[in-house]
Amino acid sequence: MAAEREYIAFLYRRLDAERAAATGELGGVLRDASTETTEDLWQREVATSALSARIGRLRVADSGLCFGRLDRDSGEVLYIGRIGLFDEEDDYRPLLTDWRAPVARPFYTATAANSEGVTRRRHFRTRHRRVLDFHDDVLDHGVADGDEVLLAALNAPRADTMGDIVATIQAEQDEIIRLGHTGVVVIDGGPGTGKTVVALHRVAYLLYAHRERMSRRGVLIVGPNTGFLRYIGDVLPSLGETDAVFATPGELHPGLETSAADPPDARRVKGGLAMVDVLTAAVADRQELPETPIEIELDDVTVTIDAEVAGRARARARAAGVRHNQARPVFRDSLILELAEQAVDRIGGDWLDAREVPELAGDLAADVRSELSRSRTLSVAVDRLWPRLTPYGLLVELYGSPERLAAACDGILTPADRDALYREAGSAWTVSDVPLLDEAVELIGPLTPADGVTERMRRRAERRYARDVLTILDTDEDPDGEVLRAVDLIDSERLAERQEERDHRTLAERAAADREWTYGHVVVDEAQELSEMDWRVVMRRCPSRSMTIVGDLAQRESPAGARTWASMLDAYVPGRWTYRRLTINYRMPAEIMEVAGRVLSTMDSTLPVPRSVRHAGELPWARACEPDELSSVVASLAGAERPEEGTLAVLVPEGLELDVDHPVLTPRQAKGLEYDVVIIVEPQRVLAAEPAGVADLYVALTRATQRLGVVHTEPLPAVLDGLRRLDAEVAVR
């Protein structure tokens, strides 16, 4: 123990030295006031970004720097940790091996039956920088019991954010994490099987193994709600990777953030591929022909835009093969050409035979075109017949006009589905609108600086960049051990001036603000909820199709979501995606999984129930009460059940409000999260909700890691029969 403590203390000293050196180098870069040519500025900003990122990686490695050791039959000893540390004076001899390195793989996969050349595997348990104890798996004697370490981690109290599993990765998880396939990988599995955390570790592994290719473009991580993204947000940084954009489906269109949901019928209609044709027709409907001729008075003649003239100009603009707004100049120029010919013909009938004097006709046509290009009347006509559109304006006018809906949906949607799209002007944007706005950009053209969105996001990101750099300098030491204060190097005004000289945003910030950005890898969690239209957005963001798709079809609640993975993926990567299923339940003890399994069987009796690796020794309970005492009973039970360390949540059906001093969420808000203790209120109302009550109840039942309770005022659903009944007079704990 003394020897291990000393070695790990040595690793921390090495970590501190590397971080101090990087911090000192960053300070030197910011102190540099040499000639600021364009090249100087570019080199300084590249250095600043690289050093800031390195300091960030070294900082997050502080927690649990070294968590394991491998002794090989060759006599080699490897210490395994979050990052790699090397002895530069001894031919870069590894002092600490990064967990993602191929040589570290046996730490997760070696068994007594297949030791992979490992004689002993040691697991360290640490707190802050101190080694508390360790556990050994002695593999060359045919004995290996890694469950002690795993069970200790599973039984530990949960925190408000997800922890990584880098120290306790299991063999079936490691196989997925290190898959050499860099295309689309689907990780399927029931609740508690570790799908999400495996996907995040896979991202960290891919960024390590394919850094040059993937780090240039960053990673997009799509999760079901902001609570879930906050919960998982610390996992990638703890693994040493920070170039990631976290977004919900309601945030995939730059400048818009929404969590509002449409009614089920509208969600279903908006999520279907037929909306591509509807939007195409809606744009075409805005390329109008005049019902009555439009007269344009010129100096010498009056010309007329009628349906025939506008029709020929419209045909030329559509034939240009560009988006609507980009085709607008083509339409305008075509009108000018048509009207100039019309003017020459009319003027020539009075005093010029154009066939006899072609030069004069050409000069006249040029004069008329010049006059038309300055005509206010013509500009108004173009605005009316081929207006400049925005994605937002297109949808607002489409949704709020029965006439435009009828024109756009004719022959595409049923009258009932068309009516599901109608809504009053001023309604909030919904999550289902986001892929439609994105599709509209494909038809209309991208947002421009005139729209203001991109510029606002850029300025916001620049301010965040300045704050982060100053924070780094205020919290690190220079190589001499003295604290570096940002104001000693550069003041905020000077740093702000430099930001105006170049785009200082991080890769993640630039990517989030740029709809045209394409990512090196995309992770989609709770992917069963994405509609066909959502998948079009995701696929645009990753043309390389390097993706990790995470989901459980049994938990689908969206009427537009996936029923099979093939139905969503074969349109983009037919027969070229890899499927893996996780079968072991690490979250719920067997007592809770047995109850959830009964609900699962009502959805699909062929779906396998994940196998729990542990028992809690305590059955889930149920407590009945009167409606007028619901809040007080829930508050009392939650207070009694709340663990001294760990988390508790109360899950309620949509629309139910409780006066309790504990987190209260709906099953959909709790999707992807986990708590030590969960109390479900009125499960019969959750089950009865359409269209996905069974899936919502299944989600609610599978959030607890230790204990589960139910409070109800109406009879319990038959599927929950058998819960341990609590007498009203008996204290829970």
| pLDDT exceeds cutoff 90 at 645 | no
Q: What stretch of H or E contains 665?
A: strand 664-665
Q: Which residue has the higher pLDDT, 386 or 243?
A: 386
The reported pLDDT for the residue numbered 227 is: 86
Instruction: Tell the residue number behind the tokens 């003295």, with chain if given.
Output: 482
Q: What is the pLDDT of residues 686-723, one digit of tens each?
A: 999 877 899 999 999 999 999 999 999 999 999 998 89
Confidence of residue 446 (pLDDT cuts 50, 70, 90): confident
**589 phi-psi bin (left φ>0, alpha ψ -120 to 50, beta other):** beta
The reported pLDDT for the residue numbered 534 is: 97
**Arithmetic mean of pLDDT over the chain:** 84
Q: What is the pLDDT of residues 187-208, one digit of tens each?
A: 999 898 889 888 888 888 888 7
- Contact between 101 and 84 (Cβ < 8 Å): yes
Average pLDDT, stretch 642-650?
90
The reported pLDDT for the residue numbered 336 is: 94
| pLDDT exceeds cutoff 90 at 661 | no
Share of the chain above pLDDT 70, in %: 83
- Contact between 238 and 60 (Cβ < 8 Å): yes
Query: What is the DSSP secondary-structure string of 349-394?
Result: HHH--TTT-HHHHHHHHHHHHHHHHT-HHHHHHHHHHS----HHHH
Tokens of 428: 């909030």
List, in sequence order, every residue forming a beta bridge with 582; answer none if it has no partner.
189
Neighbours of 161 (CB within 10 A): 12
Residue of 370, 374, 384 lying closest to 294 (CA atoms): 384
Instruction: Give yes or no on whether 184-253+515-582 and 590-725 have one common fold.
Output: yes
- Contact between 683 and 697 (Cβ < 8 Å): yes
The reported pLDDT for the residue numbered 493 is: 43
Task: Provide the sign of the torsion angle of the four alpha carbons 152, 154, 159, 161, taken in this order.
Answer: positive
CA distance 65 to 53: 18
Let me know how many helices (H) and strands (E) the chain has, helices first.
29, 22
Find how far residue 325's CA is from the centre of its chain.
29
**Four-way CATH pick for 590-725: 3.40.50.450, 1.10.260.40, 3.40.50.300, 3.40.50.2300:** 3.40.50.300
Residue of 366, 469, 626 lying closest to 52 (CA atoms): 469
Confidence of residue 492 (pLDDT cuts 50, 70, 90): very low
Q: What is the pLDDT of residues 321-379, one digit of tens each?
A: 999 999 999 999 999 999 998 988 887 655 555 445 556 667 788 888 899 999 999 99
SS3 content of the chain, % helix, strand, coil (to 5): 50, 15, 35
C-alpha triplet 150, 670, 712: angle, nearest 5°: 105
- Contact between 121 and 68 (Cβ < 8 Å): yes
The reported pLDDT for the residue numbered 257 is: 92
pTM of the model: 0.77
CATH fold of 184-253+515-582 reads Rossmann fold (3.40.50)
The pairing of strands 130-138 and 118-127 is antiparallel
Average pLDDT, stretch 206-221?
81
The reported pLDDT for the residue numbered 465 is: 47
Query: Could you tell me the residue ranges of all domains in the chain?
Result: 1-156, 184-253+515-582, 264-283+390-444, 288-385, 454-498, 590-725
By CB atoms closer than 10 A (0-12, 13-18, 19+), residue 518 is middle
The reported pLDDT for the residue numbered 566 is: 95
Q: Which residue has the higher pLDDT, 94 or 168?
A: 94
Q: Which residue has the higher pLDDT, 282 or 424?
A: 282
CA distance 60 to 40: 30
Task: Provide the sign of the torsion angle of the four alpha carbons 487, 491, 496, 501, taken in this order.
Answer: negative
